[in-house]
Chain A
Amino acid sequence: MSNIIYNNFDMEVQPPRLAPDYTSTILRAPTKPLVLLKQSLSERTGPVFGDFNLGEFDHDLTKNARVNGEPLGERIVVHGKVTNENGQPIPNTLIELWQANSCGRYVHKVDQHDAPLDPNFLGTGRCMTDSEGYYKFYTIKPGAYPWGNHFNAWRPNHIHFSLFGANITNRLVTQMYFPGDPLLQYDPIFLAVPPKGRDLLISSFDLSITEPDFALGYRFDFVLRGHHATPFE
């Protein structure tokens, strides 16, 4: 007989809480050891968003904020699968994303970067994975932008993602990067991930999903925490 135990964060690929080169962690990272929690119903369940009626263009950021034209920039398709460490697909789970526009400017009111806003681009969207754990978004390739972490600091192009998965242990907020970005080697947020995990955050160019005369394709798969069996005590 055995008992299903959800895996903890794999700290061989997950970033540490404190990463001093990313200076905001210094006053915000917990300093005391985490308390190991015996998993109960709360950890084996999580919110389900099946009842929420997604908007027709929630998954298409090139269309969901149009006012008087098309957003500027390079159209891309981002697709992939959500599975867990065991390779099981995670169907019908919510994926949310947000990003800067093609000029590297966020709509967010506190972003004061002197780059133009795009009146036809909000930069946020969402979708549900299908029955096989598959998802697909249309968007505009985000631009790089400066930030105040250190002198001449620029974030690499990235898209923020939020996933729920099968229960609250699966919760994941992460960032997807683009292949060949020269800023990755200087980015303390990306570099906070141990070397073994870094490639997992970089999408792959995907000609098979590239749409002729329309948009370049990228593949980015998510792997959420899985589970293992332990014998009953």
Chain B
Amino acid sequence: MENSTAPTAATPRIGGLQTPSQTVGPYFAYGLAPEQYHYNFRSLTNNELVDPLQTVEAITIVGKVFDGQGNVIPDAMVELWDANNQLFGRFGTGTDVEKRFIFKALKPVSVNGDAPYLSLILFMRGQLIHSYTRIYFSDETALNANDEVLLAVPAERRHTLIAQKTGNYYTFNINMQGDNETVFFEI
């Protein structure tokens, strides 16, 4: 051997090409939602964007994620972002008996005349790259009818973005494929 040299540092990669996405896989629960799945690690975030016990105006959003054969997906992870209130939540579909996601949130308000919405990011095994969509609300008929984003969506697909108010909660199902495939956005 030659004389040993000083340790060589790996070449840093600063800027340039994007790091490619890879699937979240089936085993994210103990890392990304440990308390929800009863692992012994503290969660950073959960499905309560607001504390429903402290917030009388809190709304509930419930939904399922369906695959191309209409089967409910029990290992998806849903994140919600409420930009106006700077609130974030995350929930996996693996713990509810019906494999639903359930969130407590604030009903967003209209900004600049746009229909109110929440941003949704979806991850799952079988997705190599996450999907973005939005939740609009069925009781905002007038604002929805004139919303620039909704109007940019083909009319027959708009309903996939609108959570239906049923009793005291909103239902927002996500279909990955099929006639009612949810609109996903390129952002």
Contacts and interface: CB of A to CB of B under 8 A. Distances in A.
Q: Are A and B subunits of one complex?
A: yes
Interface of A: 6-10, 12-17, 19, 22, 24-32, 34-43, 45-49, 52, 55, 64-65, 80-81, 83-88, 94, 96-98, 100, 106-111, 122-124, 126, 160, 162, 168-169, 171-175, 189-190, 192-193, 196-198, 200-201, 204-210, 218-219, 221-226
A223 B19 contact: yes
B98 interface: no
Contacts of A28: 67-68, 73, 124-127, 176-177
Nearest to B73: A28
A49 B187 contact: no
B126 A168 contact: no
Interface residues of B, number: 75
Interface of B: 7-32, 34, 37, 39-42, 44-45, 67-69, 71, 73, 75, 79, 81, 83-84, 86, 88, 111, 114, 117, 119, 121, 123-132, 148-149, 152-153, 157, 176-177, 181-187
Contacts of A100: 27
Nearest to A169: B187
A37 B186 contact: yes
B21 A49 contact: no
A68 to B, nearest CB: 14
B31 A35 contact: no
Given A9-B18, A65-B40, A192 B25 contact: no
Given A100-B27, A207-B9, 14 more contacts: A8-B187, A9-B129, A14-B20, A15-B128, A36-B186, A42-B83, A47-B81, A162-B31, A168-B121, A172-B21, A200-B13, A204-B10, A221-B12, A224-B19
Contacts of A106: 27, 30
A210 B7 contact: yes
Contacts of B41: 64-65, 122, 124
A94 B130 CA distance: 18
